[in-house]
Structure 1
Amino acid sequence: MAALVLLLPLLPLLAASALPSSEAAAKVPALYVFGDSTADVGNNNYLPGSNAKANFPHNGIDFPFSRPTGRFSNGYNGIDFLANHMGFKRSPPPFLSLANNTSHRILRGLKGISFASGGSGILDATGSTISMTKQIQYFSTVRSDLTGQLAIEQIDHLLSKSIFLISTGGNDIFAFFSQNRFPNITETQHFISTLITKYQDHFKELYALGARKFGIVDVAPIGCCPYPRSLNPTGGCLEMLNELARKFNEASKALLHDLSSTLTGMKYSVGSSYAIVMNIVNNPGTLGFEEIKTACCGSGKFNGESGCTPNATCCSNRRHYLFWDLLHPTHATSKLVGHAIFSGSKQYASPINFRQLVEDDYY
């Protein structure tokens, strides 16, 4: 009975359209996106030598015209669905696609830009792509571009009403885990503390640049992804990774509560991809999923030993898979996550959901 009660808020969301609709009237002035591969829509396409790319088949097989865009998905990612709920067609364009065109950058800066980069993390040492620090520097450039078009008061108003969406932290946890498979309590506490301290710096920097409304997507149960399962002799979830994700998510909530009580005008919502994905893992059939362990696209055990490449095995019934590749959700999963975070109960987004964050004091 308890499981059924938890699932009830998710069930109506399954009837939503398969793809985002055409762009309607935006409910916020702009959307600025920061984070890792869960949010990347193509920034890494412009990074020579980077291995953290998805701009090739089978990626994008369910995107319009079956086009691989750099999204780590068969179609849209969760940020696309959240953006659509806010009245945009999909996630804003990647910053690096606009970097050499100042006029286009200014124009898009008025509606939003994505700075997210696959492989990045909260810590500068995580990954070798565009760090959170660099992403915020890029945003500072966009703000500077706007000063030639708008008065300072107008820019401040624009940014204060816009949504700053952040989806990050998983790569930091993977990096820590790869260096220490069996951390003791002291090592774990030190890691989480270091991560949260740097995360706090990022929030304060964005606040200083004008951000006031933050939408955060927490770290999913990454220990249940096909890659960690392939490392586990039992084929089960790697609980150490899930425990680290839970500890980080709990510490992030406490951080945001504290920041919102000290930074004037700051408002936030934390969307729990952890709770939603765990609901799917524990109750797949009820939510329309048939395969929760094996990736749709990949190779090796659980299709989790290598990424989705043109030569990889790719399933045909993608709608019924929880995971697209060794670490990322399918379009179907992202659709459910996006709906639950935007409109769901406090189990899936707190202290308010994204809809309430968007509608709060907009007019």
Structure 2
Amino acid sequence: MGWEAVVAMGSVSRRIFPLSLLLFLLFDLLLNTVGGEAAKVPAIYVFGDSTADVGNNNYLPGNSPRANFPHNGIDFPFSRPTGRFSNGYNGVDFLAMHMGFRRSPPPFLSLTNKTKHQIMRGLKGVNFASGGSGIALESMGSTISMTKQIQNFAMIKSNITARIGTKTADYLLSRSIFLISTGGNDIFAYYSQINSPNNTGEELFVTTLVSKYGDHVKELYTLGARKFGVVDVPLIGCCPYPRSLNTTGGCIDMMNELALGFNNAVRALMQNLSWTLKGMKYSIGSSYALVLSVMKNPEALGYKEVKTACCGAGKFNARTGCTPNATYCSDRHHYLFWDMLHPTHRTSKLAGLAIYYGSQKFATPINFKQLVEDKV
């Protein structure tokens, strides 16, 4: 039985069963019959940038970053480009699979025709992420900012509440997972704008960015979120594109330092918020630690190439994106990076495993599995 049938049953049966019994039956069905499979949480709501986008940018006008063309998706079912910046699935897909879902929930902009069916699909989750967006990049008209993503979630919540009632919606959201994967684009933007780097300026940038991040988390909490799964910023200075800008071909250390400083500050932020926001639980998955581990010992993890992108052109295959005219490697499972900035399907799969089941090296203070199983 799907969500639509469950809610229909609730609306018909309210006159027959005591409310407490009806809610018990409803919640049991909500938690255990998602898409015909045993989902471990009622829903997943995803916010962030291209590391989490599953097709929202396909619907945007103008020059928004897109991946809805070959060779993207070459290892996705039916070799279909979906808007994921990957040769297959991305990290959010694998995390969703570990939670019992088929893959990431659908992009928000695919549900904008507010039919009953599509509104009810929002009960299983929605992906609001937009490639090119950031924590504080509010002025970029070609992407969906975090502020707008949260406003879109508020609209979805309003629609769901209108269908199933406030108490049921609040209960559902409190048990759902809110995934956030963002921050890299803010660091890229800052790095590209500075002329003379200094520690004071970098510290102010990180402080301001993390404060804005906290505002987003608190807004989601106000809207009903209680379980937060955060994916930190990876070792972005070692992606193929930054390497291509470095005359030595090495990593850009400043970008990695900014990422590490931001990640550490986010850990402190989430810990403080969990002390002040009643019922809040969180896990921070470290893509930074995962990429660092692969780069330190690639052979042991089955990698042969950790510097050059699989798909692209120019130095490190990173001076152009993965376009239909670009070349791409045949042994993609041996590559860390798919394109100039994004991981391969295999790397995302490895990250999903490490973040969901791994030790505190890859997820802290608990892993995503423990977050999913924690009773709020």
Fold conserved (TM > 0.5)? yes
Tell me the residue number matched to 2:85.
72
Q: CA deviation at 1:107?
A: 1.2
For 2:195 and 2:91, the matched residues in 1 are separated by 29
Q: For the structure 1 residues 247 and 23, does the alpha-carbon distance in structure 2 shift closer, same or farther, using more than 3 Å as the test?
A: farther
For 1:126 and 1:314, the matched residues in 2 are separated by 34
Structure 1 counterpart of 2:300, from 260, 271, 286? 286
Unaligned runs of 5+ residues in structure 2 are 1-34
Segments of 4+ moved more than 6 angstroms: none
Q: CA deviation at 1:182?
A: 4.1
* TM-score for the superposition, normalised by structure 2: 0.89
For 1:326 and 1:39, the matched residues in 2 are separated by 16
Q: CA deviation at 1:203?
A: 0.4
- Partner amino acid for 2:352? G
Q: RCO (CA 8 Å, sep 6+): is it higher in 1 or 2?
A: 1
**Secondary structure of 2:180's partner?**
strand
**Secondary structure of 2:162's partner?**
coil
For 1:50 and 1:346, the matched residues in 2 are separated by 39
Q: For the structure 1 residues 181 and 104, does the alpha-carbon distance in structure 2 shift closer, same or farther, using more than 3 Å as the test?
A: farther
Identity in percent:
69
For 2:37 and 2:314, the matched residues in 1 are separated by 43
CA offsets per residue over residues 101-137 of structure 1, 9 Å max, x none? 3323321111000000000000033643000000000
Q: Which has the larger radius of gyration?
A: 2
Q: Map 1:1-363 onto structure 2 (within 5 A).
A: 24-125=37-138, 127=140, 128-180=142-194, 182-361=196-375
For 1:56 and 1:262, the matched residues in 2 are separated by 45
CA offsets per residue over residues 60-98 of structure 1, 9 Å max, x none? 000000000000000000000000000000000000001
- Partner amino acid for 1:190? L
Q: For the structure 1 residues 246 and 23, does the alpha-carbon distance in structure 2 shift closer, same or farther, using more than 3 Å as the test?
A: farther
Tell me the residue number matched to 1:13.
none
For 1:181 and 1:268, the matched residues in 2 are separated by 37
Do the aligned residues in 2 keep the contact of 1:163 with 1:215 (CA within 8 Å)?
Answer: yes
The aligned length equals: 341
For 1:268 and 1:287, the matched residues in 2 are separated by 28
CA offsets per residue over residues 269-293 of structure 1, 9 Å max, x none? 0000000111001110000000000
**Secondary structure of 1:41's partner?**
coil
* TM-score for the superposition, normalised by structure 1: 0.92
- Partner amino acid for 1:350? T
CA RMSD, Structure 1 to Structure 2 (Å) = 1.2
Q: For the structure 1 residues 182 and 293, does the alpha-carbon distance in structure 2 shift closer, same or farther, using more than 3 Å as the test?
A: farther
- Partner amino acid for 1:149? R
Q: CA deviation at 1:361?
A: 1.1
Do the aligned residues in 2 keep the contact of 1:126 with 1:172 (CA within 8 Å)?
Answer: no
CA offsets per residue over residues 208-230 of structure 1, 9 Å max, x none? 00000000000000000000000
Q: CA deviation at 1:151?
A: 1.7
